[in-house]
Amino acid sequence: MAFTSQFSSLQGRFLALGATLWLACSGTASATENAAACPPLLQKSFNRLQDDAPQNLCQYAGKVLLVVNTASYCGFTPQYEGLEKLYAQYGSKGLVVLGFPSNDFGEQEPGKGKAIADFCYNTYGVKFPMFEKTVVSGKSANPLFAELAKAGGGSPKWNFYKYLVGRDGKLIDSYSSMTKPDSSGLVKDIQKALAQP
Note if 74 is an active site residue. yes
At 170 the pLDDT is 97
> What are the residues whose beta carbons fall under 8 Å from the beta carbon of 75, sequence distance 6 or more?
none
Element (H, E) at 95: strand 95-101
CB 101 within 8 A of CB 67: no
At 123 the pLDDT is 96
CB 113 within 8 A of CB 134: no
What is the rounded CA–CA span in Å between residue 169 and residue 125?
A: 27
pLDDT tens for each residue of the chain, 197 residues long: 554 455 455 455 544 444 443 444 444 444 445 555 999 999 999 999 999 999 999 999 999 999 999 999 999 999 999 999 999 999 999 999 999 999 999 999 999 999 999 999 999 999 999 999 999 999 999 999 999 999 999 999 999 999 999 999 999 999 999 999 999 999 999 999 999 98
At 29 the pLDDT is 43
What is the rounded CA–CA span in Å between residue 157 and residue 180?
A: 15
Helix %, strand %, coil % of the chain (to 5): 45, 15, 35
Which member of 25, 38, 58, 74 is catalytic?
74
